[in-house]
Amino acid sequence: MKKRMVCGLIALAFVCSSLFIMTSCAKKQIGVSERVEKPVIVEEEKVVVVEEEEKAPVAEEKVVVVVEEEKAEAERRAKAEMLAAKIREFDTENIYFAFDKSDLRPKARATLKKKAAFLRGDFSFRVLIAGNCDERGTEAYNLALGERRAHSAKKYLMALGISGDRISTVSYGEERPADPAHTPAAWELNRRDNFTLLR
C-alpha cells in the first residue's frame, strides 16, 4: 500500500511538475514568438503610418486651404458688412444742440465716445464734422455758431485721444437742414453736428 501511495505521489508530482513545465514552456514560447513578430509589424505599421502621414498632409492641406479660403471670404464679407454698418452708424448718428448753444449735452458725449472708440480702432479713417443750425437767426451768426458746434465735437474727440489731424470741420450754418420744415421739431433735428468718415 505504502509503495503504491509513494508511487502514486511520485507520479502525481511528475504529472504536476511536467504540467507546470509544459505550461511555463508554452508561455515562454508565446512570449518569444511575440517578441519576434512585433517589431516587424510595428515597423510595417510605422512605414504605413509615415507614408500615410506624408501623403495625407498634401491631400489634407488642399482641403484645408480651400475651406479656409471660403471661410476667409465669408469672414471678410462679414467684416466688411460689419464695417459698413459701423460706418453707416457713424455717419448717420448725429449729435444735437440747444438753441443758440454749442455745448455738448450728455447724450452727445455718449455718442462721441462711441465715435472715438471706432476711430481709435481703425487709423485708416478720418472724420469730417459739419456743424449746422436751425433756420432761425442771422446767417452770419449761424455760420459762426455752426462752426463752434463742429469744434465742440472736435475738441471732445481730441480729449478722447483722437488726433486733431484726423478731424476736419465745416460749418453750413442754416444752409443744410436735415428737415426743411418750419417747425420746432424740425429745428431740433437741424441743430446738429453730422459726421462723415473719410479714408
Binding site for other proteins (CB under 8 A): 100, 136-141, 143-145, 147-148, 151, 169-173, 175
Shortest CB 138 distance to other proteins, Å: 4
- Judged by beta carbon, residue 52 or residue 100, the one nearer other proteins is 100
Shortest CB 121 distance to other proteins, Å: 27
Check if the beta carbon of residue 100 is closer than 8 Å to that of residue 137.
yes
- Judged by beta carbon, residue 83 or residue 188, the one nearer other proteins is 188
Report the run of H or E that residue 64 belongs to, with start and end: helix 2-92
Shortest CB 98 distance to other proteins, Å: 12
Check if the beta carbon of residue 95 is closer than 8 Å to that of residue 108.
yes
- Judged by beta carbon, residue 14 or residue 141, the one nearer other proteins is 141
Task: Compute φ and ψ for 103, nearest 5 degrees.
Answer: -80, 150
Shortest CB 77 distance to other proteins, Å: 35
- Judged by beta carbon, residue 118 or residue 147, the one nearer other proteins is 147
Check if the beta carbon of residue 86 is closer than 8 Å to that of residue 118.
yes
- Judged by beta carbon, residue 86 or residue 151, the one nearer other proteins is 151
The helix/strand/coil state of 22 is helix
Q: Which three cell numbers stand for residue 139?
A: 446767417
**What letter does residue 132 receive in the DSSP assignment?**
E
The helix/strand/coil state of 193 is strand
Shortest CB 100 distance to other proteins, Å: 7
3-state helix, strand, coil in the chain (%, to 5): 70, 10, 20
